[in-house]
Protein backbone atom coordinates (compact mmCIF):
# COMPACT_ATOMS: atom_id res chain seq x y z
CA UNK A 1 0.00 0.00 0.00
CA UNK A 2 1.30 3.45 -0.83
CA UNK A 3 2.10 5.72 2.06
CA UNK A 4 -0.46 8.14 3.44
CA UNK A 5 -0.57 11.81 2.34
CA UNK A 6 2.21 13.62 4.19
CA UNK A 7 1.07 16.46 6.46
CA UNK A 8 3.22 19.48 7.28
CA UNK A 9 1.44 21.13 10.20
CA UNK A 10 2.70 24.24 11.92
CA UNK A 11 1.95 24.79 15.59
CA UNK A 12 2.54 28.49 16.13
CA UNK A 13 1.86 28.24 19.87
CA UNK A 14 1.48 31.74 21.42
CA UNK A 15 3.16 33.60 18.57
CA UNK A 16 2.12 36.23 15.98
CA UNK A 17 -0.57 38.88 16.22
CA UNK A 18 -3.64 38.67 13.94
CA UNK A 19 -2.09 41.10 11.44
CA UNK A 20 1.28 39.35 11.48
CA UNK A 21 -0.54 36.05 10.95
CA UNK A 22 -2.38 37.30 7.85
CA UNK A 23 0.82 38.74 6.39
CA UNK A 24 2.59 35.42 6.99
CA UNK A 25 -0.03 33.19 5.36
CA UNK A 26 -0.41 35.59 2.43
CA UNK A 27 3.26 34.94 1.64
CA UNK A 28 3.08 31.26 2.50
CA UNK A 29 0.19 30.43 0.21
CA UNK A 30 2.10 31.28 -2.98
CA UNK A 31 5.19 29.46 -1.78
CA UNK A 32 3.37 26.19 -1.04
CA UNK A 33 0.82 26.22 -3.89
CA UNK A 34 0.61 22.80 -5.52
CA UNK A 35 2.60 21.01 -2.83
CA UNK A 36 2.19 17.26 -2.50
CA UNK A 37 2.05 17.58 1.28
CA UNK A 38 -1.09 18.75 3.04
CA UNK A 39 -0.30 22.12 4.62
CA UNK A 40 -1.82 23.13 7.95
CA UNK A 41 -1.21 26.18 10.13
CA UNK A 42 -2.13 25.91 13.82
CA UNK A 43 -2.71 29.50 14.84
CA UNK A 44 -3.86 31.29 18.03
CA UNK A 45 -7.64 31.65 18.39
CA UNK A 46 -7.64 35.38 17.68
CA UNK A 47 -5.77 34.85 14.39
CA UNK A 48 -8.26 32.29 13.05
CA UNK A 49 -10.82 34.58 11.32
CA UNK A 50 -8.18 36.58 9.43
CA UNK A 51 -6.13 33.55 8.50
CA UNK A 52 -9.19 31.62 7.24
CA UNK A 53 -10.09 34.58 5.05
CA UNK A 54 -6.53 34.91 3.76
CA UNK A 55 -6.10 31.23 2.83
CA UNK A 56 -9.40 30.96 0.93
CA UNK A 57 -8.76 29.39 -2.48
CA UNK A 58 -5.32 28.11 -1.42
CA UNK A 59 -4.21 24.65 -0.28
CA UNK A 60 -3.57 25.79 3.31
CA UNK A 61 -5.83 24.45 6.05
CA UNK A 62 -6.25 25.95 9.49
CA UNK A 63 -5.95 24.30 12.89
CA UNK A 64 -6.87 25.61 16.33
CA UNK A 65 -4.56 24.80 19.23
CA UNK A 66 -7.19 23.88 21.80
CA UNK A 67 -10.95 23.61 22.34
CA UNK A 68 -13.44 22.84 25.13
CA UNK A 69 -15.50 19.67 24.87
CA UNK A 70 -18.80 21.13 26.07
CA UNK A 71 -21.07 22.63 23.39
CA UNK A 72 -21.65 25.87 25.36
CA UNK A 73 -22.13 27.11 28.91
CA UNK A 74 -20.48 28.83 31.84
CA UNK A 75 -16.82 28.15 30.99
CA UNK A 76 -15.19 31.56 31.12
CA UNK A 77 -12.36 31.94 28.63
CA UNK A 78 -13.14 28.76 26.71
CA UNK A 79 -14.05 28.18 23.06
CA UNK A 80 -16.38 25.45 21.71
CA UNK A 81 -16.11 23.18 18.67
CA UNK A 82 -19.18 24.81 17.14
CA UNK A 83 -17.48 28.22 17.27
CA UNK A 84 -14.38 26.88 15.53
CA UNK A 85 -16.37 24.95 12.93
CA UNK A 86 -18.42 28.07 12.19
CA UNK A 87 -15.18 29.92 11.33
CA UNK A 88 -14.10 27.15 8.94
CA UNK A 89 -11.47 25.41 11.08
CA UNK A 90 -10.49 21.92 9.85
CA UNK A 91 -8.18 20.60 12.57
CA UNK A 92 -7.78 21.02 16.31
CA UNK A 93 -4.53 20.18 18.10
CA UNK A 94 -5.25 18.56 21.47
CA UNK A 95 -3.14 17.02 24.22
CA UNK A 96 -0.01 18.99 23.48
CA UNK A 97 2.57 18.45 26.23
CA UNK A 98 2.53 22.18 27.00
CA UNK A 99 -1.20 22.01 27.68
CA UNK A 100 -0.77 18.85 29.73
CA UNK A 101 2.02 20.49 31.77
CA UNK A 102 0.81 24.10 32.21
CA UNK A 103 -2.96 23.65 31.99
CA UNK A 104 -3.38 20.22 33.59
CA UNK A 105 -4.93 18.62 30.51
CA UNK A 106 -5.52 14.91 31.20
CA UNK A 107 -5.99 11.92 28.91
CA UNK A 108 -9.67 11.87 29.90
CA UNK A 109 -10.11 15.51 28.87
CA UNK A 110 -8.31 14.80 25.60
CA UNK A 111 -10.70 11.92 24.97
CA UNK A 112 -13.72 14.21 25.52
CA UNK A 113 -12.21 16.82 23.23
CA UNK A 114 -11.54 14.23 20.49
CA UNK A 115 -15.19 13.10 20.67
CA UNK A 116 -16.50 16.68 20.49
CA UNK A 117 -14.18 17.64 17.61
CA UNK A 118 -15.27 14.65 15.52
CA UNK A 119 -18.95 15.27 16.32
CA UNK A 120 -18.52 18.84 15.06
CA UNK A 121 -17.10 17.62 11.74
CA UNK A 122 -13.47 18.59 12.40
CA UNK A 123 -10.37 16.44 12.83
CA UNK A 124 -8.33 16.15 16.02
CA UNK A 125 -4.54 16.14 15.95
CA UNK A 126 -3.86 14.21 19.16
CA UNK A 127 -0.42 14.71 20.70
CA UNK A 128 1.44 12.26 22.88
CA UNK A 129 5.01 11.75 24.00
CA UNK A 130 7.30 10.86 26.88
CA UNK A 131 9.50 12.97 29.12
CA UNK A 132 13.26 12.48 29.29
CA UNK A 133 12.87 10.70 32.65
CA UNK A 134 10.33 8.29 31.17
CA UNK A 135 12.63 7.57 28.24
CA UNK A 136 15.53 6.92 30.60
CA UNK A 137 13.32 4.66 32.74
CA UNK A 138 12.46 2.62 29.64
CA UNK A 139 8.71 3.26 29.86
CA UNK A 140 8.25 5.24 26.62
CA UNK A 141 6.18 2.55 24.88
CA UNK A 142 3.89 1.96 27.89
CA UNK A 143 3.40 5.69 28.43
CA UNK A 144 2.57 6.54 24.82
CA UNK A 145 0.33 3.49 24.41
CA UNK A 146 -1.60 4.50 27.54
CA UNK A 147 -1.98 8.12 26.39
CA UNK A 148 -3.31 7.10 22.99
CA UNK A 149 -5.50 4.25 24.24
CA UNK A 150 -7.36 6.58 26.63
CA UNK A 151 -7.52 9.45 24.13
CA UNK A 152 -9.27 7.17 21.62
CA UNK A 153 -11.78 5.48 23.97
CA UNK A 154 -15.19 5.20 22.34
CA UNK A 155 -14.04 6.27 18.88
CA UNK A 156 -15.05 4.01 15.99
CA UNK A 157 -12.50 2.45 13.65
CA UNK A 158 -13.76 4.70 10.87
CA UNK A 159 -13.16 7.77 13.02
CA UNK A 160 -9.70 6.58 14.02
CA UNK A 161 -8.82 6.15 10.35
CA UNK A 162 -9.43 9.90 9.85
CA UNK A 163 -7.71 11.36 12.93
CA UNK A 164 -4.10 12.49 13.14
CA UNK A 165 -1.75 11.48 15.94
CA UNK A 166 1.43 13.44 16.67
CA UNK A 167 4.28 11.80 18.56
CA UNK A 168 6.24 14.55 20.27
CA UNK A 169 8.90 13.47 22.75
CA UNK A 170 8.92 16.25 25.34
CA UNK A 171 12.72 16.33 25.48
CA UNK A 172 12.85 17.19 21.77
CA UNK A 173 10.36 20.10 21.85
CA UNK A 174 11.96 23.49 21.42
CA UNK A 175 15.31 22.11 22.47
CA UNK A 176 16.92 21.78 19.07
CA UNK A 177 17.43 18.14 20.05
CA UNK A 178 15.52 16.13 17.43
CA UNK A 179 14.86 12.49 18.13
CA UNK A 180 16.96 10.40 15.78
CA UNK A 181 15.06 9.16 12.76
CA UNK A 182 15.22 5.67 14.26
CA UNK A 183 13.85 6.80 17.65
CA UNK A 184 10.99 8.70 15.99
CA UNK A 185 10.17 5.81 13.66
CA UNK A 186 10.30 3.29 16.50
CA UNK A 187 7.65 5.08 18.59
CA UNK A 188 5.45 5.95 15.59
CA UNK A 189 5.62 2.22 14.75
CA UNK A 190 4.58 1.34 18.33
CA UNK A 191 1.59 3.67 17.98
CA UNK A 192 0.59 2.09 14.67
CA UNK A 193 0.94 -1.36 16.19
CA UNK A 194 -1.44 -0.25 19.00
CA UNK A 195 -3.94 0.88 16.35
CA UNK A 196 -3.66 -2.54 14.69
CA UNK A 197 -4.43 -4.21 18.05
CA UNK A 198 -7.38 -1.94 18.81
CA UNK A 199 -8.93 -1.29 15.40
CA UNK A 200 -7.38 -3.73 12.92
CA UNK A 201 -4.82 -3.40 10.17
CA UNK A 202 -6.99 -1.59 7.60
CA UNK A 203 -7.72 1.25 10.02
CA UNK A 204 -4.14 1.45 11.28
CA UNK A 205 -2.86 1.76 7.72
CA UNK A 206 -4.98 4.86 7.15
CA UNK A 207 -4.30 6.86 10.34
CA UNK A 208 -1.67 9.54 9.94
CA UNK A 209 1.03 9.65 12.58
CA UNK A 210 3.24 12.75 12.66
CA UNK A 211 6.53 13.36 14.41
CA UNK A 212 7.10 16.63 16.30
CA UNK A 213 10.11 17.98 18.15
CA UNK A 214 12.67 20.25 16.52
CA UNK A 215 11.61 19.38 12.96
CA UNK A 216 13.57 21.62 10.59
CA UNK A 217 14.20 22.05 6.89
CA UNK A 218 17.31 19.88 7.10
CA UNK A 219 15.78 16.88 8.87
CA UNK A 220 12.22 16.82 7.48
CA UNK A 221 13.03 14.77 4.37
CA UNK A 222 14.64 11.92 6.28
CA UNK A 223 11.96 11.87 9.00
CA UNK A 224 9.00 12.01 6.61
CA UNK A 225 10.46 9.20 4.50
CA UNK A 226 10.21 6.70 7.35
CA UNK A 227 7.51 4.06 6.89
CA UNK A 228 5.46 5.02 9.96
CA UNK A 229 6.01 8.80 9.93
CA UNK A 230 3.44 10.70 7.89
CA UNK A 231 4.72 14.22 8.33
CA UNK A 232 5.51 16.66 11.10
CA UNK A 233 3.98 18.90 13.73
CA UNK A 234 6.37 21.80 13.60
CA UNK A 235 6.81 24.48 16.26
CA UNK A 236 9.62 27.04 15.94
CA UNK A 237 10.45 26.32 12.30
CA UNK A 238 6.82 26.89 11.25
CA UNK A 239 7.13 30.57 12.22
CA UNK A 240 9.77 31.18 9.54
CA UNK A 241 8.62 31.33 5.92
CA UNK A 242 11.77 29.88 4.33
CA UNK A 243 12.05 27.06 6.84
CA UNK A 244 8.39 26.08 6.72
CA UNK A 245 8.29 26.23 2.92
CA UNK A 246 11.25 23.83 2.78
CA UNK A 247 9.59 21.48 5.26
CA UNK A 248 6.40 21.45 3.13
CA UNK A 249 8.55 20.74 0.04
CA UNK A 250 10.70 18.18 1.85
CA UNK A 251 10.63 15.85 -1.15
CA UNK A 252 11.35 18.45 -3.84
Distance between CA atoms of 246 and 252, rounded to whole angstroms? 9
φ/ψ bin of 169: left (φ > 0), alpha (ψ from -120 to 50), beta (otherwise): beta
Three-state DSSP class for 139? coil
CB burial of residue 242 (10 Å; 0-12, 13-18, 19+): exposed
User: How far apart are CB 9 and ligand 13P at their closest, in Å?
Assistant: 8
For the chain, the straight-line distance linking the first and the last C-alpha, in angstroms and rounded, comes to: 22
Residue of 28, 122, 195, 233 interacting with ligand 13P (CB under 6 A): 233
- Residue number, 50 or 213, with CB nearest to ligand 13P: 213
Q: How far apart are CA 252 and CA 102, in angstroms?
A: 38
Would you give the binding string for ligand 13P spanning residues 151-180, x where CB under 6 A is met? -----------------x----xx------
Find the part of the chain contacting ligand 13P (CB under 6 A) among 16-24, 31-39, 184-192, 233-241: 233-241
> Do the Cβ atoms of 5 and 38 come closer than 8 Å?
yes
Annotated active-site residue 96? The verdict is: yes
Among 191, 215, 217, 248, binds ligand 13P (CB under 6 A): 215
Of the candidate residues 7, 234, 247, 248, the single one contacting ligand 13P (CB under 6 A):
234
Under the criterion CB under 6 A, does residue 95 sit at the interface with ligand 13P?
A: no
By CB neighbour count within 10 A (0-12 exposed, 13-18 middle, 19+ buried), where does 154 fall?
exposed
Of all residues in the shown chain, the one whose CB is closest to ligand 13P is 235
Active site annotation includes 168 = yes
Would you say 40 or 55 has its CB closer to ligand 13P? 40
| Interatomic CA distance for residues 55 and 72, integer angstroms | 28
Query: Which of 44, 95, 169, 212 is the binder for ligand 13P (CB under 6 A)?
Result: 212
Nearer residue to ligand 13P within complex by CB, 50 or 169: 169
The single residue of 96, 159, 185, 250 carrying the catalytic annotation is 96
224: left (phi over 0), alpha (psi -120 to 50) or beta: alpha
Compute how many residues bind ligand 13P; rule: CB under 6 A.
14
Residues that bind ligand 13P (CB under 6 A): 11, 96, 168, 173-174, 212-215, 233-237
Q: Would you please indicate which residues are annotated as catalytic (active-site) residues?
A: 96, 168
Amino acid sequence: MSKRVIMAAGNWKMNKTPSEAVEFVNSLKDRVAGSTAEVVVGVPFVCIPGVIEAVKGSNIKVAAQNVHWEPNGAYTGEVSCKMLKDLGVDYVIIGHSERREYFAETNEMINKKARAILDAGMTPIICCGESLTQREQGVTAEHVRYQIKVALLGLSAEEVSRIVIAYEPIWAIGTGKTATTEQAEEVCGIIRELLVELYGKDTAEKTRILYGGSVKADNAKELFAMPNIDGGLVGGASLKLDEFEKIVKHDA
